[in-house]
């Protein structure tokens, strides 16, 4: 696991965007694994900026998102499909038909999980997977206790995760209770993984991550067993790392 330190959120986003841009230029038909959440907003802003200024093209890129809430239609303002269109896809030249997100509105979510797993395989796997980290150490929506061996699956969201995401919804009640997420096994097949962390809210979990104990209690700790992981974190997120 390589650690790149950033002074603040903006610098973390710029460094992450540079890695993504490099990947897309090196391999124009890259498969990018994408995430949502606050951490990624600034990264996508930088990608959009770079696309406008430098013309980096995503015409042949394919994207697969980590997760989606169950029960929200793709056009629901809190769905991750809506987020991705809003912050990234509408502003770059990727055809929407090459952007994939689990369908949380599917009438058969178990079948949807299998379909999604096969889809990733049919794309040839993920070249670069971007991850945020939950305050409880989750990656995707793989909450503490999730076995490392599971592929894409349905999860019950932890109360702390629903609480953390409630800021995007009118009330906590409206935060969905379930989601579809790539499993840890799916994520670990990615050829390169980029984990981003910013702010004091992530300081405690980052300190735990850097204890280097691999345990399902801290899902992100599995990344210690992957050969090609880059962590970019800002000073606040690293403030409790000894």
Catalytically active residues are 67, 136, 138, 143
Q: Which of 38, 160, 178, 216 binds ligand F6R (CB under 6 A)?
A: 38
Q: Which of residues 73-132 bind ligand F6R (CB under 6 A)?
A: 132
| CB nearer to ligand F6R: pick between 23 and 39 | 39
Q: Which of 15, 16, 17, 36 binds ligand F6R (CB under 6 A)?
A: 36
Residue 150 CA to residue 129 CA, distance in Å, equals 17
Q: Which of residues 151-210 bind ligand F6R (CB under 6 A)?
A: none
| Shortest Å distance, C-beta 223 to ligand F6R | 13
Residue 47 CA to residue 50 CA, distance in Å, equals 5
- Binding of ligand F6R at residue 134 (CB under 6 A)? yes
| CB nearer to ligand F6R: pick between 28 and 90 | 90
Closest chain position to ligand F6R (CB): 132
Q: Where on the chain is the footprint of ligand F6R (CB under 6 A)?
A: 35-39, 66-67, 132-134, 138-141
């Amino acid at each position: 696991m390589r650690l790149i330190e950033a002074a603040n959120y903006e610098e973390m986003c710029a460094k992450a965007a540079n890695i993504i841009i490099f990947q897309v230029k090196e391999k124009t038909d890259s498969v990018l694994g994408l995430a949502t959440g606050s951490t990624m907003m600034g990264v996508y802003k930088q990608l959009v900026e770079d696309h406008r200024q430098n013309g980096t093209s995503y015409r042949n890129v394919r994207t697969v998102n980590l997760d989606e809430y169950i029960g929200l239609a793709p056009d629901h303002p809190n769905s991750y499909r809506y987020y991705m269109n809003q912050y990234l896809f509408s502003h770059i030249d990727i055809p929407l038909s090459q952007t994939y997100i689990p369908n949380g509105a599917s009438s058969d979510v178990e079948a949807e999980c299998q379909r999604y797993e096969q889809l990733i395989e049919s794309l040839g796997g993920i070249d670069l997977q971007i991850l945020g980290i939950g305050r409880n150490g989750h990656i995707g929506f793989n909450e503490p206790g999730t076995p490392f061996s599971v592929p894409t699956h349905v999860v019950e969201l932890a109360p702390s995760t629903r609480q953390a995401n409630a800021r995007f919804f009118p009330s906590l009640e409206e935060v969905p209770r379930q989601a579809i997420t790539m499993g840890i096994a799916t994520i670990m097949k990615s050829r390169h993984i980029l984990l981003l962390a910013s702010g004091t809210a992530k300081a405690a979990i980052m300190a735990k991550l850097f204890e280097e104990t691999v345990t399902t209690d801290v899902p992100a700790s599995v990344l210690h067993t992957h050969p090609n992981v880059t962590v970019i974190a800002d000073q606040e997120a690293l403030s409790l790392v000894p």
